[in-house]
Amino acid sequence: MELTTVWFAVIAFLWTGYFVLEGFDFGVGVLLPLIGRGRDAEARRRTMLTTIGPVWDGNEVWLIVAAGAMFAAFPDWYATVFSGFYLPMLAILVALILRGLAIEYRGKRDDAAWRRRWDAAIFWGSLVPAVLWGMVFGNIAGGVPVDAAHEYAGGLADLVTPYALLGGATTLALFVTHGAVFLGLKTRDDVRASARRVAIWAGCAAAAAGTAFVTWTLLRHPDPVAIGLAAVAVAGLTAGLAASRVGRDGWAFAGTAVATGLVFVVLFWSLFPDVLPSTINPAYALTTTNAASSPYALRVMSWLAAVFTPLVLLYQGWTYWVFRRRVSTRDLAEPPRPVAAPHG
């Protein structure tokens, strides 16, 4: 197997891992005002944020590594995507920054108005990437105006297509379902019950949007393997929702993780050997061959990845194991009061 193919597979794995892990973070953030309401709203919201508190920043490492791998292995692909999709990428970056600040700063003051503002930042900082990432990868899979110089030749309107919008709806519904199932896995009492109810409704929306999006993808790129992967994704989502309904939260989370991951695997599988199709002329498409770095660079990257990737996976797995226990609103009934700085 050529190293260009290997690195395309590595990048597909990194992006898929990012969306499986960060997907439930986004889902929890979007669900914050829905599940985190009522007389014990503050305890509910703190419980929800506690479930992702130890892992959300580690999950974002996958984004950094995926983007870095694109830059190193396929620099033309990276340059065309990140320049052509500049505005949506900028919106995603700003949303991620605001969300990170909100998670860290929300509890720094014992002030309800302060917390409400940061809660809004968490909601929008989760909703915007959940939609825009689906639109970005919908455009990558569906193709955009790329000219003979391998540069993006369109405008913002060219990125807002029906296929891309359906991709955004699919990722939003999938991430919300994934987040609700994750809350069911990590919480007890009322939050768990609410999350399980939301998971069923969100899962139905995810099934409808995801089936339409994947079917449209397969009509554009019919392939027996992609069809099989899509069938497994549907089975995973169905099994996950059934498991959530009977309280088997671990199996439910595995099912939604499989469904979320396989949607992106289908996109990458259908895309190969292109990395960015051109809607102007198929001959202008960026491929794993014409967008790749030199063979020497790919060899050096392969050795580095072989050494450090297992270490990163082991560390992140250990983090999830350490913070594996469920949390409850009873554990977090009263918000901690900030410690005043000493005077003098």
Q: Can you tell me the distance from the alpha carbon of 275 to that of 140, in angstroms, rounded to the nearest whole number?
A: 7
H or E segment and range at residue 171: helix 162-186
Q: Can you tell me the distance from the alpha carbon of 319 to that of 317, in angstroms, rounded to the nearest whole number?
A: 5
Amino acid (one-letter) located at 271: L
Q: Between 329 and 245, name the one with better pLDDT.
A: 245
Q: Name every residue whose Cβ is closer than 8 Å to that of residue 22 and which is 6 or more positions away in sequence.
A: 56, 59, 60, 62, 63
Burial class (CB in 10 A: 0-12, 13-18, 19+), 337: exposed
What are residue 321's phi and psi, to 5 degrees? -70, -40
pLDDT for 283 beyond 70: yes
Q: What is the per-residue pLDDT across 129-153, written as a single tens digit (0 to 9) for each?
A: 999 999 999 999 999 999 998 889 8
How is residue 144 annotated by DSSP? Answer: B
Size of the chain in residues: 344
Would you state the structure tokens that stand for residue 153, as one six-digit string? 């030749």
Mean pLDDT of 31-45: 89
Per-residue confidence (pLDDT) for residue 311, from 0 to 100: 86
Q: What is the per-residue pLDDT across 6-28, written as a single tens digit (0 to 9) for each?
A: 999 999 999 999 999 999 999 99
Per-residue confidence (pLDDT) for residue 32, from 0 to 100: 95
Per-residue confidence (pLDDT) for residue 268, from 0 to 100: 94
Report percent pLDDT > 70 for the chain.
Answer: 95
Strand (E) positions, the chain?
274-276, 286-287
Per-residue confidence (pLDDT) for residue 1, from 0 to 100: 62
Mean pLDDT, the chain, integer: 90
Residues 174 and 203: beta-carbon distance below 8 Å: no
SS3 210: helix
User: Taking the CB of residue 98, how many other CB atoms lie within 10 A of it?
Assistant: 18
pLDDT for 336 beyond 60: no
SS3 146: strand
Q: What Rg do the C-alpha atoms of the chain give, in angstroms?
A: 21
Burial class (CB in 10 A: 0-12, 13-18, 19+), 175: buried
Per-residue confidence (pLDDT) for residue 339, from 0 to 100: 47
Per-residue confidence (pLDDT) for residue 203, from 0 to 100: 93
Per-residue confidence (pLDDT) for residue 77, from 0 to 100: 94
Residues 279 and 144: beta-carbon distance below 8 Å: yes
Per-residue confidence (pLDDT) for residue 161, from 0 to 100: 93
Q: Can you tell me the distance from the alpha carbon of 22 to that of 14, in angstroms, rounded to the nearest whole number?
A: 12
Q: What is the per-residue pLDDT across 204-239, written as a single tens digit (0 to 9) for each?
A: 999 999 999 999 999 888 889 999 999 999 999 999
Entry pTM = 0.91
Do you find a cis peptide bond into 273, omega within 30 degrees of 0? Answer: yes
